[in-house]
A = this chain, B = another copy of it.
Amino acid sequence: MPKRFSASEYIDGILAGNRVLLSRAITLVESTLPSDQALAQQVLDAVLPHAGRSVRVGITGVPGVGKSTFIEALGLHLVREQDKRLAVLAVDPSSQRSGGSILGDKTRMNELAAHPQAFIRPSPAGRSLGGVTRSTREALVLCEAAGHDVIFVETVGVGQSETAVHGMVDFFLLLMLAGAGDELQGIKKGIMEMADAVTITKADGGNELAARRARAEYQNALHLFPLAPSQWNPVVTTSSAVTGAGVPAVWEIIGQYVQQTQESGYFQRRRQEQNLHWLHETIREALETRFYQRPAVAQRLPDIRQQVMDGRKSAFGAAEELLGL
């Protein structure tokens, strides 16, 4: 059983950039024990004024797209060439089922994991999307307070977690494969539209021409959509984690985005909106959890759901009945 620290030990440790205490504090925000949660909130509130100064980048793409190798290549560029401190977090609610988790196999990011300016944290296991989302968002705050300039939030491009990640980052990067066909890549409708940049991975060797073709195709497709509220035109690039080609360019694009949106004020406004969104989302979740856990509601619900599904009861009438219990 790991030693439990006091709130001030966590706080001082995090602000000093102590990786062990940062790691332990993240374990604390991931805990579902009420006493851990109370301590976690104390730590979070104390370090919050020191957070918020990083660039937050969401990275997604289906398994097989080469996410780990791309993140390692981009990450090494950041810590080695740009002298950044980088934290890599993951959102993967499916890890409870698969037993493993993305980023769980750190051997996939050997070099980056060993670098003193990089901090890699796998997705917490055994949590719902809501739980993973919440703890990832809190871990992000802790990593920022510990002095990381860039946070990557990795997720698998196959489900709802992308929307959650999109809601906690400044920039959303989508990795795609050339030639696999969108259907095969399993990219859900709407994910491509969240992308501020798309990079076609594995653009090396015999795959280079196909990657360049895919780049043109996606760039055209993105032009079909109207300008996002950020006023940013999504960029499509090709890259290779093997040769390193196109990897620094992705970081340059992120830098351009940050500069443009900071100048326009969108960057800060979006963060404020994200904060408010999480406030009201947290309240909504708590209200719903409390309601559906009430014994009278839990007992009556299955029957009512069936009647509503079958069209024997109107949704509004049924809702009123449950709310009156």
Please give the residue numbers on chain A whose beta carbons come within 8 Å of chain B beta carbons, in ascending order. 41, 44-45, 48-49, 51-52, 134, 137-138, 141, 182-183, 186-190, 192-193, 217, 221, 224-228, 271-272, 275-276, 278-279, 281-284, 286-288, 291, 304-305, 308-320, 322-323
Report Cα–Cα, A157/B7, bound state, in Å: 51
Contact A275 B48 (CB under 8 A): no
Contact B316 A225 (CB under 8 A): no
Contact A284 B284 (CB under 8 A): yes
Contact B283 A225 (CB under 8 A): no
Contact of A308 among B226, B279, B291, B305 (CB under 8 A): B279
For this complex, 9 residue pairs linking A to B, each with C-beta atoms less than 8 Å apart, are A48-B311, A48-B314, A182-B226, A190-B190, A272-B309, A275-B308, A279-B304, A283-B288, A287-B287
Chain B residues whose C-beta falls within 8 Å of the C-beta of A45 in the assembled complex:
313-314, 317
Contact of A286 among B183, B190, B323 (CB under 8 A): B323
Q: How many copies does the complex hold?
A: 2
Q: Would you list the 8 A-B pairs with minimal beta carbon distance, nearest first?
A: A278-B315, A282-B319, A272-B309, A279-B315, A287-B287, A183-B226, A189-B193, A275-B308
Chain B residues whose C-beta falls within 8 Å of the C-beta of A44 in the assembled complex:
314, 316-317
Chain B residues whose C-beta falls within 8 Å of the C-beta of A288 in the assembled complex:
283-284, 287
Report Cα–Cα, A255/B115, bound state, in Å: 61
Given contacts A45-B314, A278-B315, 20 further A-B contacts (CB under 8 A): A41-B314, A48-B311, A137-B315, A186-B226, A188-B226, A189-B193, A193-B193, A221-B221, A221-B224, A272-B310, A275-B311, A276-B305, A276-B309, A281-B315, A282-B316, A283-B291, A283-B319, A284-B287, A286-B319, A287-B287
- The chain B residue sitting closest to A189, CB to CB, is B193
Contact B183 A315 (CB under 8 A): no
Chain B residues whose C-beta falls within 8 Å of the C-beta of A275 in the assembled complex:
308-309, 311, 315
Chain B residues whose C-beta falls within 8 Å of the C-beta of A224 in the assembled complex:
182, 192, 217, 221
Contact B138 A314 (CB under 8 A): yes
CB distance from A163 to the nearest CB of B (A): 11
Q: Of residues A217, A278, A288, A314, which shows the largest number of chain B Cβ atoms within 10 Å of its Cβ?
A: A314
